[in-house]
Amino acid sequence: MRVLNEWGVGEAVEGHSHGDSDSGMPLLIDGEKRQWKRGEDDVDGAFCPQQVLVRNLIRVFLRDGGDLRFEARDLSLHDIGTEQPLVRYREADGSTRTVTCDFVAGADGYRGVSRTAIPEDVLTCFTHEFGYAWLTVLTEAPADPLAVLAVHARGFAAQITRGPHASRLYLQCPLTDTVEQWPDERVWTELEARFGTPVDPQGPITNKQVVPLRGVVFSPMGFGRLYLLGDAAHLISPMSAQGMSLALHDADVLARGVVQHVEKNDSSLLDGYSDTCLNHTWERQASAVWMTQTMHDSGDPGYEGEFRKQIARKNLETMLEPSAAPHSTS
């Protein structure tokens, strides 16, 4: 929100519910409803589905005269180690176009081509696998409240809004699970079991995916005049719900660096781009790993065992308002 407002594009999330999102989001532990503690550093936020934010930002960009080219195919980067890198692509009609650039922002996601333009011996990939996955499900059923998380012996579960008519369901599952093992009926039954309560309304399911939980960081976050942003440079556990914010952070740092370079002929911000963003990313990765382990180890002991479950539950309690129910010591 802060970054969008500072760049004058806060209107892209207008109409989406603001406020302290975390403390308003119930957590169900073995079916018992708990509330997050309100932190001193809680800031204004908004529940805005990512596709809505992207659509609104595109609208603002085009309205303000931005040049955005859709349907670019066979994209490739050249001469990124020089002062005039080139981006080549094919238009929808098959003709080839070349754009001569001062800088290239490689913001084409984890499977994009930007990162592959960097010589292999320059990049180091650091990765952490959590050992489980999420079945992520898109359904045409609204979430009410906007987000519910659940910790349960059968595994983690969540339902998060994706606008007034849709939501995403998340169910922790083994890495080896396939979408075929999760017919629609099983999804709803399992969600209700982990929530410990009926889920209403239920709606048609339009997409299912199995996403392994992991953290990935590529270093350095660029080479020559190419800068890597967002998922092209790092993946963060979706438990942290930080991937989009990290991408926006990178864009903010790069944009400030380019403006300073162009307006003041000062490249210090650009020179520090990779270090600044890596520092921020590692900070967020650290809290994402802690949060992911705490939420998952607290539930199904099948992965890390009962000892870690008890530790994770104690860690979880430090973030919650006291329970109204008497505590079991088993």
Ligand X SMILES: Cc1cc2nc3c(=O)[nH]c(=O)nc-3n(C[C@H](O)[C@H](O)[C@H](O)COP(=O)(O)OP(=O)(O)OC[C@H]3O[C@@H](n4cnc5c(N)ncnc54)[C@H](O)[C@@H]3O)c2cc1C
List interacting residues with ligand X (CB under 6 A): 50, 72, 75, 107-109, 112-113, 134, 136, 211, 230-232, 238, 241-245, 247
DSSP state of 272: T
Residue among 30 and 79 whose Cβ is closer to ligand X: 79
Cβ pair 162, 144 in contact under 8 A: no
C-beta of 245 vs 310, nearer to ligand X? 245
* Helix, strand, coil abundance in the chain, percent, nearest 5: 35, 25, 40
| Minimum separation from the CB atom of position 153 to ligand X (A) | 23
Of 20 and 317, the one with the shorter C-beta distance to ligand X is: 20
CB of 125 to ligand X, least distance (A): 16
Give the nearer residue to ligand X in terms of CB position, either 26 or 109.
Answer: 109
Report in angstroms how near the CB of residue 167 gets to ligand X at its nearest: 12
Least distance to ligand X, CB of residue 244, Å: 3
Torsion sign over Cα 13, 17, 19, 25:
negative
Angle between helices 273-297 and 243-264 (to 10 degrees): 170
Smallest distance from ligand X to CB 264, Å: 28
Taking Cα atoms as reference points, which of 148, 141, 122 lies closest to residue 47?
148
Least gap, CB of 293 to ligand X (angstroms) = 17
Cα four-point dihedral sign 293, 294, 295, 296: positive
Whether the Cβ atoms of residue 295 and residue 170 lie closer than 8 Å to each other: no
Q: Which residue lies nearer to ligand X by CB, 244 or 319?
A: 244
64 by DSSP, 3-state: which? coil
- 45 or 224: whose CB is closer to ligand X? 45
* 167: three-class secondary structure by DSSP: strand
Pairing of strands 124-139, 205-219: antiparallel
Contact 109/230 with Cβ under 8 angstroms?
A: yes
The whole-angstrom separation of Cα 262 and Cα 299 is 52
Nearer CB in complex with ligand X: 150/309: 150
The Cα-based distances of 280 to 21, 237, 249, 312, 313 in angstroms read 22, 15, 9, 25, 28
Name the amino acid, one letter, at 68.
L
